[in-house]
Copies of this chain bind each other. A is one copy, B any other.
């Protein structure tokens, strides 16, 4: 058995990591670390997981380093230091945070308006979408699991750009997320009274998943891309829908678009193109992604729509999937291939 630890076990992604790793046939969870919830039992923090007998420890990278692989599910900026400590001990790391996702110091500086504490690391961590970048993950010791919005958007866009079917320089992405995408922290803007029965765009022109989406598209090769990304908050717990608008290259037919996506995921268990526009409830709870593609003859625009569960394919599920690839296990091991409805 491969041993695993989770730092950040008390959050939503942490809870999902525990759920998947507890059911994993080849991994054993040996350490759970948390910040303010350290000392509490799993039953107190995640009553749905049923386990009253395990106690959360501290966010100790030393204690976590006893594991073969450590999953970091920490707030932005909190991963870098423990990640480097773990790397120094030779422990494999899958970071669910954003600290190591961008590929260059310049892109990081543009996104975060301050230099990265370990700029040499940028570009050395594999960017963890196995369906798109499997080969770099296979040999990796350190993987940056992508953000939820980028996962949804890239699964639809990258095959079209990689196939030369659309212009990467003019991409518009409007995406909608359930509230769990904001994490389990307590905030006025996340109160039921502020979220229920309302929808809004937020962080217009300044969401940090925009450079991450661009980094993912650029990794597909071709000319540098430019993405205009607008996230929206929707009154539901889980799920992301990404609606992307792309300028189609001349002479491209709908069948070309469909073939590009079908081809990209021909050997994939989790990602699939469908002919209907996907609904998030069809993927919630599973590690699946559904994609549909539409060509508007009038405007020449391609619309590609993709749906995932932000906490599974967009976070904990994909992180475990990356670990499966890193260790040469079955890519599906421990991961849910069906969701639930309603």
Interface residues of A (CB under 8 A from B): 12, 15-16, 19, 22-23, 46-50, 170, 172, 174, 176, 178-180, 184, 186-188, 190-202, 204-205, 226, 228, 230, 232, 234-239, 241, 243, 245, 272, 274, 277-286, 288, 290, 292, 294, 296, 298-299, 301, 303, 305, 307, 337-342
A337 to B18, CA, bound (A): 13
Known pairs A186-B191, A294-B205, A342-B238; A198 contacts B48 (CB<8 A): no
A47: which B residues are within 8 A, CB to CB? 274, 279, 282, 290, 341
Copies in the complex: 4
Query: Is A341 a contact of B243 with CB atoms below 8 Å?
Result: no
A-B contact pairs, 29 of them (CB 8 A): A12-B342, A15-B341, A23-B338, A46-B341, A47-B279, A48-B282, A48-B283, A48-B284, A48-B341, A49-B339, A170-B299, A176-B232, A176-B234, A179-B342, A184-B193, A186-B186, A192-B235, A193-B237, A197-B236, A197-B238, A199-B279, A200-B277, A201-B305, A226-B299, A228-B298, A228-B301, A230-B303, A232-B241, A235-B235
Query: Is B232 a contact of A245 with CB atoms below 8 Å?
Result: no
Query: Is B285 a contact of A340 with CB atoms below 8 Å?
Result: yes
- The residue on B at minimum CB distance from A179 is B192
Query: Is B188 a contact of A186 with CB atoms below 8 Å?
Result: yes
Known pairs A186-B191, A340-B19; A230 contacts B201 (CB<8 A): no
A278 to B199, CA, bound (A): 9
- The residue on B at minimum CB distance from A312 is B340
- The residue on B at minimum CB distance from A230 is B243
Query: Is A193 a contact of B174 with CB atoms below 8 Å?
Result: no
A301: which B residues are within 8 A, CB to CB? 172, 228
- The residue on B at minimum CB distance from A47 is B282
A172 to B23, CA, bound (A): 40
The one of B234, B292, B338 in contact with A19, judged by C-beta atoms closer than 8 angstroms, is B338
A272: which B residues are within 8 A, CB to CB? 50
Known pairs A176-B199, A197-B284, A200-B280; A50 contacts B186 (CB<8 A): no
Tell me which of A191, A228, A278, A340 has the highest count of chain B C-beta atoms within 10 A of its own C-beta.
Answer: A340
